[in-house]
């Protein structure tokens, strides 16, 4: 069900939610958190789709602040348009899309606070452009977890350096979340004999991949060795991280991903084999970050290494 509320107020939106709940049953029961998404109209539906898919694991209320600079410039009056999506149009969540114009758009915190679920954590997500200091932004101040995406930045090196300087526990970034499968594979390999010390590491990835930088920083932090970064121009088949080579006395270990979903694992004295190493979707990343609402201390240590970049 989709309900449009043009030229409305937050009070009217809240009352409409109560009315829908009374008519259709306890649709709000079981909501475990509020997800606040701040995005532009271009990325609106993509973000809502990811939130809807994640809501099957994390039933939530989704509040979307949809920014439309062109409309705001041409719209003279102060105005708030809203849309409520319930049921099949919202997965296991309830989605509230807010489009504010004029002075109303200058206070996103007041728009959101009247719609937050009581006594439930708040997760803030910026799918595209993120504030310079997420924790100090109007939406970031009310959030338990704040999610950005360095891959969406024009200069991800500058973005990571800024994130390092402004980092507050509870901050997270999808460039880090995309590494979960890589980190799990590498940890599993090094947990097997022979337990030779890793002498050096080489990480290969696209020149516009912040995940490659974060993986190299994580390996340097954990293994305490020099890590060489080899960058390539993004190709059509595979983007992001291409491979990792660990040099040990017993022989090199390599993971090379030449296909989007599969990587090749090369180890001394063992046959070469293929392993599943797919690129993670927005749903995968969002679900993981909503699963863990406490601060990610390891991410804090890794991102701190970018302070002087």
Say yes or no: 127 and 187 in one domain. Answer: no
The whole-angstrom separation of Cα 156 and Cα 175 is 10
Q: Are 170 and 145 spatial neighbours (Cβ–Cβ below 8 Å)?
A: yes
Q: What is the CATH number of the domain that holds 188?
A: 3.30.360
Q: In which band, very low, low, confident or very high, does the pLDDT at 67 lie, cut at 50, 70 and 90? A: confident
* 23 within a domain of the structure (yes/no): yes
Say yes or no: 129 and 12 in one domain. Answer: yes
User: How many structural domains is the chain composed of?
Assistant: 2
The whole-angstrom separation of Cα 208 and Cα 19 is 48
Question: If you average pLDDT over residues 196-222, what whole number do you get?
Answer: 96
Say yes or no: 8 and 89 in one domain. Answer: yes
pLDDT at 3 over 60: yes
- pLDDT value, residue 265: 97
Name the least confident of 5-9, 30-34, 138-142, 176-180: 30-34
The whole-angstrom separation of Cα 76 and Cα 83 is 21
The whole-angstrom separation of Cα 286 and Cα 280 is 10
Nearest to 65 by CA among 86, 35, 30: 35
Say yes or no: 47 and 166 in one domain. Answer: yes
C-alpha 121 chain-centroid distance: 17
- pLDDT value, residue 90: 60
- Share of residues in the chain with pLDDT > 70 (%): 92
pLDDT at 198 over 80: yes
- pLDDT value, residue 239: 78
- pLDDT value, residue 68: 74
Q: In which band, very low, low, confident or very high, does the pLDDT at 233 lie, cut at 50, 70 and 90? A: confident
Name the least confident of 65-74, 109-118, 224-233: 65-74
Q: In which band, very low, low, confident or very high, does the pLDDT at 14 lie, cut at 50, 70 and 90? A: very high
Question: If you average pLDDT over residues 81-87, what whole number do you get?
Answer: 91
The whole-chain average pLDDT of the chain stands at 91
* 91 within a domain of the structure (yes/no): yes
Question: If you average pLDDT over residues 172-198, what whole number do you get?
Answer: 95
* 127 within a domain of the structure (yes/no): yes
Say yes or no: 159 and 221 in one domain. Answer: no
* 153 within a domain of the structure (yes/no): yes
- pLDDT value, residue 26: 47
* 234 within a domain of the structure (yes/no): yes
Contacts of 74 (CB under 8 A, 6+ apart): none
Say yes or no: 166 and 25 in one domain. Answer: yes
Say yes or no: 223 and 138 in one domain. Answer: no
* 218 within a domain of the structure (yes/no): yes
Question: If you average pLDDT over residues 49-57, what whole number do you get?
Answer: 91
Say yes or no: 150 and 255 in one domain. Answer: no
Domain final position from 147, 173, 199: 173
- pLDDT value, residue 88: 72
- pLDDT value, residue 76: 61
Domain final position from 141, 157, 173: 173
Considering the entire predicted model, what is its pTM? 0.92
Q: In which band, very low, low, confident or very high, does the pLDDT at 259 lie, cut at 50, 70 and 90? A: confident
Q: In which domain, by residue range, is 268 found?
A: 180-276
Nearest to 128 by CA among 51, 37, 50, 241: 37
Say yes or no: 226 and 162 in one domain. Answer: no
- pLDDT value, residue 75: 52
* Torsions phi, psi for 16 (to 5 deg): -65, -40
Say yes or no: 167 and 224 in one domain. Answer: no
Domain final position from 146, 173, 200: 173
pLDDT at 106 over 60: yes
Say yes or no: 136 and 65 in one domain. Answer: yes
pLDDT at 292 over 80: yes
- pLDDT value, residue 73: 45
- pLDDT value, residue 154: 94
Q: In which band, very low, low, confident or very high, does the pLDDT at 163 lie, cut at 50, 70 and 90? A: very high
Q: In which band, very low, low, confident or very high, does the pLDDT at 232 lie, cut at 50, 70 and 90? A: confident
- pLDDT value, residue 72: 46
CA atoms within 13 A on the CB side of 77: 5
- pLDDT value, residue 70: 61
Q: Are 205 and 211 spatial neighbours (Cβ–Cβ below 8 Å)?
A: yes
Say yes or no: 186 and 169 in one domain. Answer: no
* 309 within a domain of the structure (yes/no): no
Q: Are 13 and 115 spatial neighbours (Cβ–Cβ below 8 Å)?
A: yes
* 301 within a domain of the structure (yes/no): no
pLDDT at 41 over 80: yes
Between the alpha carbon of residue 37 and those of residues 50, 81, 202, the distances in Å are 11, 16, 36
């Amino acid at each position: 069900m989709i309900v449009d509320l043009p030229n409305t107020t937050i009070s009217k939106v809240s009352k409409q939610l109560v009315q829908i709940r009374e008519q259709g049953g306890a649709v709000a029961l079981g909501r475990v958190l509020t997800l606040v998404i701040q995005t532009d109209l271009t990325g609106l539906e993509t973000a809502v789709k990811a939130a809807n898919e994640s809501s099957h694991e994390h039933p939530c209320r989704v509040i979307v602040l949809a920014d439309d600079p062109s409309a705001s410039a041409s719209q003279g009056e102060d105005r708030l348009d809203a849309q409520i999506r319930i049921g099949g149009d919202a997965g296991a969540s309830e989605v509230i899309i807010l489009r504010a114009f004029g002075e109303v758009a200058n206070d996103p915190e007041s728009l959101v606070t009247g719609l937050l679920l009581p006594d439930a954590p708040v997760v803030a997500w910026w799918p595209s452009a993120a504030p310079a200091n997420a924790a100090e932004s109007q939406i970031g101040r009310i959030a338990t977890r704040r999610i950005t995406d360095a891959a969406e930045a024009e200069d991800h090196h500058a973005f990571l350096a800024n994130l390092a300087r402004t980092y507050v526990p509870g901050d997270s970034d999808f460039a880090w979340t995309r590494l979960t499968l890589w980190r799990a594979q590498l940890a599993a390999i090094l947990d097997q004999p022979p337990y030779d010390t890793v002498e050096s590491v080489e990480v290969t990835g696209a020149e516009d991949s912040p995940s490659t930088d974060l993986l190299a920083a994580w390996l340097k932090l954990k293994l305490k060795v020099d890590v060489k970064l080899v960058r390539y121009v993004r190709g059509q088949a595979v983007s992001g991280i291409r491979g990792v080579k660990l040099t040990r006395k017993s022989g090199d270990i390599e993971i090379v991903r030449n296909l989007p979903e599969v990587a090749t694992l090369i180890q001394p004295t063992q046959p070469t084999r293929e392993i599943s190493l797919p690129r993670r979707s927005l749903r995968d990343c969002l679900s993981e970050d909503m699963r863990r609402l406490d601060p990610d201390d390891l991410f804090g240590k890794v991102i701190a290494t970018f302070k002087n970049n």
